[in-house]
Amino acid sequence: MQNLIVGSNRQSIDMAAKKARELGYRPVVLSTTIDGETREIARMHAAIAREAIARDYSRMCFLSGGETTVTIRGKGLGGRNQEFVLAAAIALEKTAGVTVFSAGTDGIDGPTDAAGAVADSSTLLRACVLKLEPRSFLDNNDSYSFFERAGGLVKTGPTGTNVMDVRILLI
């Protein structure tokens, strides 16, 4: 018997790194086996982005994969990828020049029709104009409603393939 791996998170991340390089970014693969509490992982990724900016690194692309978990505290709607992006955006609130993306490769994030979300500094500015409190949405596990109103939901439809999640931070 022979088993062939035709797709994996590592392959997805490697292809994302290749594309980032083609676009003029310097890719850095953090890990393809990230797990743990989504909000903590998001804060760690935000800290890496802030450090890169403090060291004046530019055109960086930080990549990670794996699947995190969400401790449900509220009654909102969302998934681990949307929650990751919202938590990272909050952690990067006073940091310009970072775009955060996270999505499930299967096109599904939690019980929603979104694969994940994307945010940058303009996302929180739009939220402010709309009088949305990002922290309240995060506390209620309601990242879907936040991104639905502020913009940033990524909807691909089901892909038929699940090789875990892909996270990208562009500087």
Q: Specify the pLDDT at position 3.
A: 79
Domains and CATH numbers, the chain: 9-170 (3.40.1480.10)
Residues 18-37 pLDDT 10s: 999 999 999 999 999 999 99
- The answer to whether the predicted template modeling score (pTM) of the entire model surpasses 0.75 is yes
- Other beta carbons less than 10 A from residue 95's beta carbon: 15
Residues 130-141 pLDDT 10s: 999 999 999 999
Cβ-in-10-Å burial (0-12, 13-18, 19+) of 83 comes to buried
